[in-house]
Amino acid sequence: MAALTDDPGAATRLLYALQECLRSALASIRAHGLRSLLTMLGIIIGVASVICVIGLVQGLSSSISAQFEGLGSSTLTLRSFTPLEDQLRGKFNRLRPTDLDELRFRVDGINNVTPIVFGGQRFGAEVRYGSNTANGQLLGTTNRYQDVAALYPRVGRFITDSDDESRRRVVVLGEQMRKDLKLPNDPTGQFVQIGREWFKVVGSMEARGEVFGQSQDNFALMPYETALAVTGVIAQPDLWISFSVTDLDNVANVKQQVIALIRRVHGLGDKDPDDFVVEGSDTLANTFNTISQTVTAVVAGIVGISLLVGGIGIMNIMLVSVTERTREIGIAKALGAPRHFILLQFLIEAVVLATIGGIIGVALGFLLAHGVAGLIPNFPSPTVPWWAVAGACVFSALVGVLFGSLPAGKAARLAPIDALRYE
């Protein structure tokens, strides 16, 4: 820096040298177009693969996060939890109606407390309408469920407190189940069969779409007390309990209150692990984001190995180029070209090759991500963040610097007399 300040002409000469090196590098790339393209191919494939993977994972992550946010950050769900080793021994923890009562009357700052009981099997029940059959989730719940889950009827009405108290045989259908049963667009008043019981359809819910290719609308809702009566789980129902926190800033405190209460009700000691979990939509979203970030890093790291392969290709071609241009290097040195000029000439050529390859790879990866997403039904649009584009281009340039240093150093160290005698 001091030398440049003392000699204003030095900065001008350095700038001229850089311009001349860049011009020489571009001229060499154009002169050997096919070889340059093949040299960049490793970088192009590596960057395109990384951008494609990141775009697909980030697009899926954004879509899932948006759906979790739709549930509301003030909604919590209490459910039982059984470790895998206990499940293998046939032991399962359960939430009971007494837990529901304790939660309703002993925790302040919550509302819309609603139980959820799984009718039939946990993962599905068969519903019939005429000769048509559909398999989906069968849930027993209360009127508060629509506020907790932000799920409202498209036509008809939702379950009422009167339905629950009198154990009416009524049901509200998800949009996918309505379609599978080939019911009318407004199925209100129709009757469907669940097990041996007949239920009157009183409403159909708004569509919510799919997550991971699985429909969120393939369900049937019936009154909570009705589900207990007709599904044979009165003796030992395993409940999920959802509720809303009235003050958004108090979510963490309410969650701790619920944990302390249920531990006391279940008689758990200080060293006993929880036999339940309290989850919120933010918990699910954070868990998914953590998983998606890990998957992105691992896959991008594996795919990124091809960038190193591309860097080795650049180094090999640049070494060949140095050998081919040995006599040219000797003439340049004999005419007074300094060592750093020769070094910059070949180093810049390697960096330019890698950077152009990175830019082409970004564009190709973006197109590839959209192509793959279009081939997968209902897959969300890919999202390529700016940091992925910037990182790919910077990393490509660093690969050029790293793998171009050896050939550039070899060219700069050539003795003029030896270079001029080279055939």
Asked whether residue 189 is domain-assigned, the answer is yes
Residue 321 is encoded by which pair of tokens?
């180029």
> Are 229 and 136 found together in one domain?
yes
Q: Are residues 407 and 322 in the same domain?
A: yes
Q: Is residue 163 part of a domain?
A: yes
Q: What is the DSSP letter of 248?
A: G
Across residues 213-220, what is the average pLDDT?
Answer: 79
Same structural domain for residues 236 and 155? yes
117 shares its domain with 51? no
Q: Does the pLDDT of residue 274 top 50, yes or no? A: yes
User: Do 154 and 216 belong to one domain?
Assistant: yes
pLDDT tens by residue, 372-403: 888 877 777 888 888 778 877 887 777 777 77
User: What value does the mean pLDDT take over residues 264-283?
Assistant: 82
**Cα–Cα distance measured from residue 228 to residue 25, given in angstroms and rounded to the nearest whole number:** 78
Residue 280 maps to a domain: no
Out of 1-5, 119-123, 211-215, 367-371, pick the least confident. 1-5
pLDDT at 332 over 50: yes
> What distance in Å separates the CA atoms of residue 314 and residue 35, rounded to the nearest whole number?
10
**Better pLDDT: 7 or 295:** 295
- Separation of CA 155 from chain center: 34
What average pLDDT does range 204-225 have in this prediction? Answer: 81
Torsion of CA 141, 143, 144, 146, to 10 degrees: 90
Per-residue pLDDT reduced to its tens digit, 73-106: 578 888 888 888 877 887 888 888 888 888 888 8
Domain range enclosing 147: 112-241
The residue type of 175 is E
Angle between helical axes of 386-413 and 305-324 (0-180°, round to 10): 30
Regarding predicted confidence, which is higher, 409 or 166?
166
Whether residue 202 is found in the same domain as residue 299: no
Inside any domain, residue 268: no
Are 194 and 310 members of one domain?
no
Question: What is the tens place of the pLDDT at every residue in 159-209?
Answer: 999 999 998 999 999 999 999 999 999 999 999 988 788 999 999 998 887
* DSSP 8-state assignment for residue 197: E
Q: How many domains does the chain have?
A: 2
- Indicate whether 190 and 297 sit together in one domain: no
User: Which helix (DSSP H) or strand (DSSP E) does residue 41 occupy?
Assistant: helix 33-69
Range 363-369, long-range pairs (CB < 8 A, 24+ positions): 364/44, 364/47, 364/48, 364/51, 365/47, 365/48, 365/49, 365/50, 365/51, 365/52, 365/55, 365/392, 366/51, 366/55, 368/48, 368/51, 368/52, 369/51, 369/52, 369/55, 369/56, 369/59
Q: Are residues 308 and 403 in the same domain?
A: yes
For the chain, percent helix, then strand, then coil, each to nearest 5? 60, 15, 25
Domain identity same for 231 and 319: no
Q: Specify the pLDDT at position 83.
A: 83
Question: Position 170: which residue type?
Answer: V
My answer on whether 36 and 138 are in the same domain is no
The answer to whether residue 60 is domain-embedded is yes
Does a structural domain hold residue 155? Answer: yes
**How far, in Å, CA of 240 to CA of 116, rounded?**
5
Domain assignment of residue 4, yes or no: no
Q: So what's the pLDDT on residue 120?
A: 62
**Looking at the predicted structure, is the pLDDT value of residue 228 above 70?**
yes
Whether residue 1 has pLDDT greater than 80: no
Same domain for 296 and 371? yes
pLDDT at 8 over 60: no
* Residue 183 confidence (pLDDT): 92
Model confidence at 237: pLDDT above 70: no
Q: Which of 201, 217, 241 is the last residue of a domain?
A: 241
Tell me if 253 is assigned to some domain: no
